[in-house]
Amino acid sequence: MKSIVCIKRVPDSETRVRIARNGTSLDTSGVKYTLNPYDEYAIEEALQRKEQAGQGSVTVMTVGSEQSAETLRSAIALGADEAVLLQAEPSTDGLAVSHALAEEIRGRSFDLLLFGKQAIDDDNMQVPQMVAELLELPCVTVVVDLNIEGSRATARREVEGGHEVVEFSLPAVISTQKGLNIPRRPNLKGIMAAKKKPLEQKTVDLRASGLELLSLSEPPPRPAAKIVGEGPDAVAELVHLLQDEAKVL
């Protein structure tokens, strides 16, 4: 089973987001970066599929800054065979990123093209579907279960109030959600081996963004809680406030 996994380097979810003075970018000083958490499920799925088949390969790919090479190395340390860094200025336009990825992927052979369901920086939830559309491939998003038999596959995806089971054929694009598998942790052997595996690096020009960022702002602050009281005795007052002050009951 041959897979290509698209991954992204993002600020750690603990990061405090500060807006830079220009009002349209983030102050990145002191920000710690990690692999996008959803992409861990995509990498793990590719590794397991290759292991189960006893053959194949796992290629990881990213569009990002030079520092994204670190993120690719961390994926190689988990077991990926090779990595491709498409070096570019960052863009919040998912379509611009998708074009760069699709261009690189077109012409490569693979069974599965895997993505996380969402990058936790832009929260776009669009790159997997866009790449699929550009490559004219079947695409199933937010997948929690994947079954493959030959070139046919079924997947379960999360929808409101339950799951949808869908059927499609390979090669296909899958975006992964928590629950699909349990991502492995890197071990020393993997980290050592990672140094010897190939990392291809090239510069790409992203298309002009179709979205212009006018300003960034912090979420409106919420007033600190009114502590109504302690223990069950405070309940009567709370119910009164919810009914008569907040008018939500």
Partner 1 sequence: MADILAYAETRSAALRGVAREVTSTASRIAGELGGCVHAVVIGGAGVGEAAVDLAENGADRIFVAEDANFLQYSPDVAVRAIEDLQAQHAYAAIMFPASAQGKDLAPRVAARLDRALATEATAIDTENGEVVVERPMYAGKAYGRFRFAASPALVSLRPNVFPVEQRSAAGAVEPLSVRAGENRVRVIEIEAAERAALDVREADIVVSGGRGLQSADNWFVLEELVESLGAEATLGASRAVVDAGWRPHGEQVGQTGKVVSPSLYFAVGISGAIQHLAGMRTAKVIVAINRDRDAPIFSVADYGIVGDALEVVPRLAAQVRAARAARG
Ligand X SMILES: Cc1cc2nc3c(=O)[nH]c(=O)nc-3n(C[C@H](O)[C@H](O)[C@H](O)COP(=O)(O)OP(=O)(O)OC[C@H]3O[C@@H](n4cnc5c(N)ncnc54)[C@H](O)[C@@H]3O)c2cc1C
Site for ligand AMP in 27-46 (CB under 6 A): 36, 38-39, 42
- Using CB under 6 A, count the residues that bind ligand AMP: 23
Comparing every residue's Cβ against ligand X, the nearest one is 13
User: Residue 41: exposed, middle, or buried by beta-carbon count in 10 A (0-12, 13-18, 19+)?
Assistant: buried
Smallest distance from the beta carbon of 55 to ligand X, in angstroms?
Answer: 33
CA triplet 241, 245, 248: central angle to 5 degrees? Answer: 80
Nearer to ligand AMP, 19 or 125 (CB): 125
Site for ligand AMP in 91-110 (CB under 6 A): 94, 97, 101
Cis peptide before 171 (omega within 30 of 0): yes
Position 83 contacts ligand AMP (CB under 6 A): no
In whole angstroms, give the CA distance from residue 102 to residue 122.
19
113 binds, among partner 1, ligand AMP, ligand X, none (CB under 5 to 8 A by kind): none
- Which region among 59-67, 69-77, 164-172, 188-196 touches ligand AMP (by CB under 6 A)? 59-67
Site for ligand X in 5-64 (CB under 6 A): 13, 37
Nearer to partner 1, 40 or 74 (CB): 40
Position 115 contacts ligand AMP (CB under 6 A): yes
String of DSSP letters for 73-121: HHHHHHT-SEEEEEE----S-HHHHHHHHHHHHTT---SEEEEES--TT
The first and second tokens of residue 103, run together, are 């261009």
Backbone phi, then psi, for 35, in 5-degree steps? -70, 135
Residue 58 per-residue DSSP state: E
Smallest distance from the beta carbon of 71 to ligand AMP, in angstroms?
Answer: 9
Torsion angle, alpha carbons of 122, 125, 129, 131, to 10: 20
Position 77 contacts ligand AMP (CB under 6 A): no
Report the run of H or E that residue 20 belongs to, with start and end: none
Site for ligand AMP in 122-141 (CB under 6 A): 122, 124-128
Smallest distance from the beta carbon of 107 to ligand X, in angstroms?
Answer: 35
Position 243 contacts ligand X (CB under 6 A): no
Contact 84, 59 (CB under 8 A): yes
Q: Could you list the residues that contact ligand AMP (CB under 6 A)?
A: 6-8, 36, 38-39, 42, 62-64, 94, 97, 101, 115-116, 118-119, 122, 124-128
